[in-house]
Structure 1
Amino acid sequence: MIKKIVIAIVCFATAGLYAQDGTVSPYSVFGIGDLRTTSTVENQMMGGMGVFTDSIHINLQNPAAYGELGLEQNNKVGLVNYTVGISNRQLRLKSFTEEQSSSVTNVDYLALGFSLGKGLGMGFGIMPYSSVGYNLVDERQSGSQPLTNVFSGEGGLNRVFYSIGYQFIKDFSIGVTANFNYGTLESERLQQIEDVQFGTFDRRTSRVNGFDFNYAINYTPTIKDKYTLHASARINTQGNLVAKNDRRIGSFSVATGGNIEEVNVNLDALNLRNTELKIPTTTTLGLGYGEDLKWFLGAEYSFQGLSSFENSFLGIGNIDYKDASSFAFGGFYTPDRSSFSSYLKRITYRAGLRLDKTGMVVNDVDINNFGITFGLGLPLGQSYSNLNIGFEAGRRGTTRANLIEESYFKINVGLSLNDFWFRKRKIN
């Protein structure tokens, strides 16, 4: 057991390294960056829904699901689930006149979940929350001379979380997750005029931290002794983040790139040294139906009052925010989970789709995202552990109004391992 604990601690300690620069999206210039997935590969491949829960997988979106861990194994105390996910995202970025490709590989989450018996479970972990990684060039005329602005940014926020779930009466579970978000957001603007020896720069840094909470309630009654209805309601409360800011402006040599002059801006006088970032509350409703360990179909709808969001220090002038919403649909099918003669029958096949109205309005154009997902859950031996492989293809944005359209293909790999701690050794 000690070896397992040490390995887990090392993994958690190093996971934060992957939260930075986890995107190459130009849309990460807005808000707090490109928001990362908050679900395991299993849920991602069903359109990203969190309404489905079972006793052998951690559900990172739905803390009430922790109350179900171990129920299928007669609720044995000491059941632990280790889960980790990584992804590779291939992007094609296209404007009205140009096109280029890029890719990024990330660790998406690391988490442990425990069954504490009698319908009580808990878990904790770490994941990237948002990522910033962009490099944009804006060329225009300044009088009779060409003017070039280069915008770049990097950084992002990590999230450490602790969850607890409890099945307080038959078919009803409640849960809560406490999230601590922290990290650094950096942006830079370089400006130069053709044939002018010096350019100017504006560099801004925000060190951000703060909490939010995710509350959930699940209702999972059995119908006709065979089927299960899955209903859930979740509220991710407003994230109250605090940013400590720094800003430096100055000039640089176009020939060498070296700084000529640099000044630290007095943000205290501007009342911008410490600012607040309030991430609006998100409410999610889900409904599904299926046969335990066999098949499931479900849908989920989320909405967020994003119109109240602003970033007074790192804000960009050509963006507005409106209320955001998301719709997801998906499910899975397992031909015969207990089959001994055919491995293919024990594989779980998942698929889904999602449509996101992100709430970002850039150059008076709504930025939306559409994606389709599919994947396989490959059982490891005769245990409840499995290797999950998923794929997602989609598109975000548009080439209208001088914007950029992202076409992406994402490969996800997740490992879900089940074991028992505190198991007594038997000597024959």
Structure 2
Amino acid sequence: MLRKVQYLFFIILFLPHLAAGQADNNSPYSRFGIGDIAHHSFGKNRALGGISFGLRDPNAIVIANPASLSARDTMSFLFEFGVIGKSTELSSGNLTDRFDDINFNHLAIAFPITKRLGTSIGIIPYSNQNYNIISTIREGDILYNPATGDLDCKYIGEGGINQFFIGNALKLNKNLSVGFNFSYLFGTLERIRTLSFVDRYDFYNSKYSDKTIIGDIKFDWGLQYTANLKHDLELTVGAIFSSNTKLSAKQEVLQENIVYSVDPGIYTDTVQNYTDDNGHIFLPGKIGAGFTLKKGDKLMIGADYYSQNWSDARFFGKSDSLKNANTIRGGIEFLPNSRDLRNYLNSIHYRIGGHYSNTYLQLSGEQITDFGISFGLGLPLRGSKSIFNIAFELGQRGTLDKNLIKEKYGILSFSLTLYDFWFLKPKFD
């Protein structure tokens, strides 16, 4: 029991640091909406293309469908921590740039309350925003104006939204489980835009800052049904649902003109400065379904589909360049022989998956797509049910058509799932 208390203390101690440390590498597409929506994938399902809705495993934490939390063994206690590293290559026209980053991905625990009731507590990123774009207008460019001369425009975005969640699941009978996630979303999104006249000191340079501070609750629901078929086959189908969510948000806007003068030098002139303490952000509901088909513990295949009506989203009463989004995911896991104690390679979980998304972005009349493949390993720790998960993803988002940006990315993720026993009394000689 002392070890569980230590786990809980670790979570409480490091939650503020994990939340504050959230960031993602440079992506101009995170400029829109609430930024890049994070994957709610932990160690196992990240290598499986992200499948979650029909995934049911007593030795893994799956929060995308909270109904899966009832799969816990009566005395099991799971602790999981994960980090990801991402490398992104951005291309636009003849220009190419690359960015690398490593970050926290998730921290969670899961344990049973009763034989039928399971719980999970943790924190994950909900969305990330990070971009730094410099645009120059020079003589010969289409937008060049001789009256204003050369211009430098800079767009900066940073911050993100974190999700602290408490998930609960109830096993209604041996086949059917229902669950819900109670989440608190919190974080800050800041966007800064500057305009500088390179050759004209008699013009005012300008700086516009828009900061959004979010803090409110959100609910998600899920169910799973498991049926035992012939020939050692087990089918689990799952569904998830969340309704439209109205989040309380605070907006701080500051617009300044930067004035140059001989005396006293550089000073700012405030054009507008206001705060909206009673604003709201409307997030669209989400609906999805999926399945997994398992043959004993050797083979599992699964797939998910979900959609969200992002065209209904509103940010302080305004819409954005958003469109209804949908995603399909699939994955396969193979375990040669979990009982082979001589050959460690036979006890490794081998995983592969893929995804294709019509994202919620529509720019220049083009809906931005995101697709990729993933593969990974589940490396069991000898003498326990704990496991070390590795996943690697390769994907692409966007296009070079219509002067848009293409992102090629690679993601390497690591997670450790520690399995321990809950309320098990130690024996002494």
User: In the alignment, which of 2, 21, 27 is matched to residue 18 of structure 1?
Assistant: 21
Alignment check: 8 A CA contact 2:302 2:332 kept: yes
Equivalence for 1:277: 281
Equivalence for 2:368: 367
Deviation at 1:273, TM superposition (A): 5.1
Deviation at 1:419, TM superposition (A): 0.2
Secondary structure in 2 matching 1:101: strand
Equivalence for 1:64: 67
Q: Are residue 40 (structure 1) and residue 46 (structure 2) matched? A: no
User: In the alignment, which of 198, 210, 228 is matched to residue 222 of structure 1?
Assistant: 228
Normalising by structure 1, we get a TM-score of 0.92
Equivalence for 1:329: 330
Over 3 Å counting, the alpha-carbon distance change for 1:363 and 1:123 in structure 2 is same
CA separation in 2, counterparts of 1:187 and 1:14?
Answer: 22
Over 3 Å counting, the alpha-carbon distance change for 1:134 and 1:112 in structure 2 is same
Q: How does 1:13-412 map to 2 (within 5 A)?
A: 13-19=16-22, 21-50=23-52, 51-70=54-73, 75-76=74-75, 79-140=76-137, 141-144=143-146, 145-197=149-201, 198-224=204-230, 226-252=232-258, 260-263=267-270, 265=272, 267=274, 274-312=278-316, 320-412=321-413
CA separation in 2, counterparts of 1:97 and 1:195?
Answer: 27
Over 3 Å counting, the alpha-carbon distance change for 1:314 and 1:414 in structure 2 is farther
Alignment check: 8 A CA contact 2:33 2:322 kept: no
User: What one-letter code is carried by the residue in structure 1 that aligns with 2:249?
Assistant: A
Alignment check: 8 A CA contact 1:204 1:314 kept: no
Cα deviation, 1:280-326, whole Å, max 9, x if unaligned, reads 011011022111321111111101111111334897xxx62221100
Alignment check: 8 A CA contact 1:267 1:273 kept: no
Alignment check: 8 A CA contact 1:399 1:405 kept: yes
Deviation at 1:254, TM superposition (A): 7.8
Deviation at 1:158, TM superposition (A): 0.9
Normalising by structure 2, we get a TM-score of 0.92
Alignment check: 8 A CA contact 2:165 2:181 kept: yes
Alignment check: 8 A CA contact 2:85 2:102 kept: yes
**Structure 1 gap ranges (5+):** none
Deviation at 1:95, TM superposition (A): 0.4
| RMSD, matched Cα | 2.0
CA separation in 2, counterparts of 1:419 and 1:259?
Answer: 62
Alignment check: 8 A CA contact 1:363 1:401 kept: yes
CA separation in 1, counterparts of 2:261 and 2:341?
Answer: 70
Q: Count residues in correspondence.
A: 414
CA separation in 1, counterparts of 2:50 and 2:308?
Answer: 16
**Structure 2 gap ranges (5+):** 138-142
User: What one-letter code is carried by the residue in structure 2 that aligns with 1:207?
Assistant: I
Q: Percent identity?
A: 28
CA separation in 2, counterparts of 1:255 and 1:369?
Answer: 49
Over 3 Å counting, the alpha-carbon distance change for 1:96 and 1:80 in structure 2 is same
CA separation in 2, counterparts of 1:23 and 1:349?
Answer: 29
CA separation in 2, counterparts of 1:249 and 1:120?
Answer: 52
CA separation in 2, counterparts of 1:267 and 1:26?
Answer: 27
User: What one-letter code is carried by the residue in structure 2 that aligns with 1:53?
Assistant: R
User: What one-letter code is carried by the residue in structure 1 that aligns with 2:179?
Assistant: G
CA separation in 2, counterparts of 1:344 and 1:37?
Answer: 29
Alignment check: 8 A CA contact 1:248 1:262 kept: no
Secondary structure in 1 matching 2:336: coil
Alignment check: 8 A CA contact 1:37 1:108 kept: no
CA separation in 1, counterparts of 2:112 and 2:315?
Answer: 41
Alignment check: 8 A CA contact 2:255 2:273 kept: no
Secondary structure in 2 matching 1:27: helix
CA separation in 1, counterparts of 2:151 and 2:12?
Answer: 51
